[in-house]
Amino acid sequence: MRKARMVAAAAGVVLLVAGCGSNGGSDKGGSSGGNTSVTSGGSTGGSTGGSGGGEELTAEAVKKEIDTAATGAGFTQDASGDKVPAGTEQCMVMWTADSAKAADQKKSYKETVTALGQAGWNIDKNFEQSGSTIKSLSKGTWLLKASDHSMGMLKMDMFIATDAKPECEAALKAAGPQKTP
C-alpha cells in the first residue's frame, strides 16, 4: 500500500511539474532544454504509425514500445503502479520501472529515452530540477512524460503516455484527479 501511494504521489508530481495536455507540456520554470527534437530514420516497421500516415497508434502499441525500450535498457516493470483511471484505458498508458532492480538507474533511463527516440518518438522538452529529470516526447497524437527521480529517498522511473485526441482529452478530464486510498 505504501509503495502504491508513493507511485501515485510521484505520478502527481510528474503531471503537475511537466504538464500533461495537448500543448506538449509546459516547461515553465527550470527547463534545461528547449525543443530538442531527436528523430531517427528507424521506425517500428510502420505497424504503429501515428504520424504522417500509416496506422493509428493505439494504447497497446504505445505500451509495447515503452516496454520494449525500458526492458531493453535494463529496467523491469513494477506493474503495481501502472493502473490507469477507469474509462481511460485506450487513452492512457502508465509504465513504472522497479528502479531498485536496475543495475544503473540513470543509465537505464537515458537508454530508454534513446530507444524511444529510435522508435520514432520526438523529444520535445526537458525539465531537470533537484535530481529529477522529466522529458516530454511525442509520436502521432500521443504525448509521453518520461521521468527519472533518483535523488534522495524517492528512486523511481515512470513513463506516462496520453493520447491528445479530443475524445481522449474528454475521457481524461472526466476521470479527474485520482485519489489515493
pLDDT digits (tens, 9 = 90+) for 2-49: 344 444 444 444 443 334 443 433 333 333 333 333 333 333 333 334
Q: Are 21 and 170 in contact (CB under 8 A)?
A: no
Q: Which three cell numbers stand for residue 134?
A: 522529466
Q: Is 117 helix (H, G, I), strand (E, B) or coil?
A: helix
Residue 44 makes CB contacts below 8 A (sequence gap 6+) with 65, 119, 120
What is the CA 125 to chain-centroid distance, rounded? 12
- Expressed in angstroms, the distance from the first to the final Cα of the chain is 9
Tell me the percentage of the chain whose pLDDT exceeds 70: 67
pLDDT digits (tens, 9 = 90+) for 90-140: 999 999 999 889 899 999 999 999 999 999 999 999 999 888 999 999 999
The whole-number pLDDT of residue 29 equals: 36
Q: What is the pTM of this model?
A: 0.71
